[in-house]
């Protein structure tokens, strides 16, 4: 009796298990049919979600390819006297960066003044332009995101013409104005340290308005009047542009203008200048409307007797990265 009970229980168990296997088999067969049907559908009728995902993948691939292409920088190496030392970058018209090698300085390392830790929120920096690589653009540092790797948020400062047709005409001819009133404009994220030249001393006239003018003791490059006539009607081609290097004896005044002294290069040095003591251009007074002559400020350091014992009187070493190539040749 006990053995018979075991047989019945075992038989019933087999029937139960068998029923589950049959049901599972039906489910599997139904699923196979669904998969076969799905695989036979043309690609055009697949779900919108799947098509969107594929499109996004293709778009991302194109973006990465474009980003890699834009990351390849143009190189324009300037060699003189067999020397190429410092490196700077200038903005080119297509928004890319162009690397330019420039001469090393004789005494002072100007790159020490533009390292990552030099940047602070609220500073205005001069930026190399897309013309001949001189620092004529300005940018306001909104936020320092990272020092390593370098990354800052910046607002460009745009020159305000105030309806002055002469200044507008000069700008169209390629003579960029770097003095006057500048307004906060478009924002950008900058990851390249070498586009920056120096910190600009300026006055904040309003919330989004800055006044940038020469200050006493600063050194600037002026457009030479051989390149630009008094009325601003004529200009020579950019390849024949000439500059005068000056030191300002007074700060700019909208009422009185400012006075300056002309500098000349010292023979035997790459970027050392001294005052021109004689001649018509030794000292000059500029009116307030002469801001059209101002090309850009040049970072400079006044030399001491310890720096150059063989030089007597006032001498300045200028930043080679802000000087045109023709002024960097060694003479004497």
What confidence tens digit (pLDDT) does each residue in 291-304 have?
889 999 999 999 98
What is the arithmetic mean of pLDDT over 91-104?
Answer: 55
Indicate the pTM of the whole model.
0.68
Confidence label for 121 from pLDDT (cuts 50, 70 and 90)? very high
| Percent of the chain as helix, strand, coil, to the nearest 5 | 30, 35, 35
pLDDT of residue 4: 46
Does position 169 have pLDDT exceeding 70, yes or no?
yes
Nearest residue to 266 via CA among 180, 332, 204, 214:
332
Looking at per-residue pLDDT, the higher value among 267 and 64 belongs to: 267
pLDDT of residue 138: 98
Does position 284 have pLDDT exceeding 60, yes or no?
yes
Of the candidate ranges 106-110, 229-233, 313-317, 323-327, the one whose mean pLDDT is the lowest:
229-233
Does position 157 have pLDDT exceeding 70, yes or no?
yes
Report pLDDT digits (tens) over 234-265.
Answer: 444 455 578 999 999 999 998 888 999 999 99
Does position 226 have pLDDT exceeding 90, yes or no?
no
Of the candidate ranges 116-125, 201-210, 224-233, the one whose mean pLDDT is the lowest:
224-233
Q: CB 133: neighbour CB atoms within 10 A?
A: 23
Kindly give the pairing relationship between strand 209-212 and strand 203-206.
Answer: antiparallel
Kindly give the pairing relationship between strand 300-302 and strand 196-199.
Answer: unpaired
Report pLDDT digits (tens) over 31-88.
Answer: 555 545 544 444 443 444 444 455 555 555 555 544 444 333 333 333 333 334 445 5
**What does the H/E/C string look like for 198-236?**
EECCCEEEECCEEEECCCCCCEEEEECCCCECCCCCCEC
Report pLDDT digits (tens) over 170-211.
Answer: 888 878 889 999 999 999 999 999 999 999 999 999 999 999
pLDDT of residue 32: 52
pLDDT of residue 131: 82
pLDDT of residue 258: 93
pLDDT of residue 283: 86
Return d(Cα 11, Cα 4) in angstroms, integer.
11
Name, in order, each residue with C-beta under 8 angstroms of 254's C-beta and a sequence gap of 6 or more: 288
């Amino acid at each position: 009796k006990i053995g018979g009970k075991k047989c019945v229980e075992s038989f019933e168990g087999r029937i139960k298990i068998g029923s589950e296997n049959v049901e599972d088999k039906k489910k599997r067969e139904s699923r196979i049919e669904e998969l076969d049907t799905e695989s036979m559908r043309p690609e055009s009728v697949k779900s919108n979600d799947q098509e969107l995902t594929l499109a996004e993948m293709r778009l991302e691939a194109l973006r990465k390819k474009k980003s890699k292409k834009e990351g390849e920088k143009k190189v324009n190496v300037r060699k003189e006297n067999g020397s190429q030392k410092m490196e700077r970058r200038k903005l080119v018209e297509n928004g890319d960066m162009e690397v330019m090698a420039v001469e090393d300085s004789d005494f002072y390392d100007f790159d020490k003044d533009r390292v990552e830790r030099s940047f602070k929120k609220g500073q205005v920096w001069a930026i190399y332009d897309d013309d001949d690589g001189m620092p004529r653009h300005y940018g306001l540092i909104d936020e320092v995101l990272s020092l390593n790797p370098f990354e800052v948020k910046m607002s460009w400062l745009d020159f305000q013409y105030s309806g002055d047709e002469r200044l507008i005409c000069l700008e169209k001819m390629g003579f960029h104005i770097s003095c006057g009133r500048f307004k906060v404009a478009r924002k950008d994220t900058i990851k390249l340290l070498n586009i920056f030249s120096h910190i600009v001393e300026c006055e904040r006239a309003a919330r989004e308005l800055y006044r940038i003018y020469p200050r006493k003791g600063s050194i600037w490059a002026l457009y030479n009047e051989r390149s630009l006539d008094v009325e601003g009607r004529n200009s020579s081609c950019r390849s024949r542009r000439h500059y005068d290097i000056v030191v300002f004896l007074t700060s700019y005044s909208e009422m009185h203008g400012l006075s300056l002294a002309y500098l000349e290069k010292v023979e035997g040095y790459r970027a050392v200048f001294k005052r021109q003591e004689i001649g018509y251009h030794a000292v000059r007074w500029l009116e307030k409307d002469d801001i059209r002559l101002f090309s850009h400020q040049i970072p400079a350091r006044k030399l001491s007797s310890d720096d150059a014992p063989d030089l007597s009187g006032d001498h300045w070493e200028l930043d080679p990265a802000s000087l045109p190539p023709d002024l960097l040749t060694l003479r004497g």
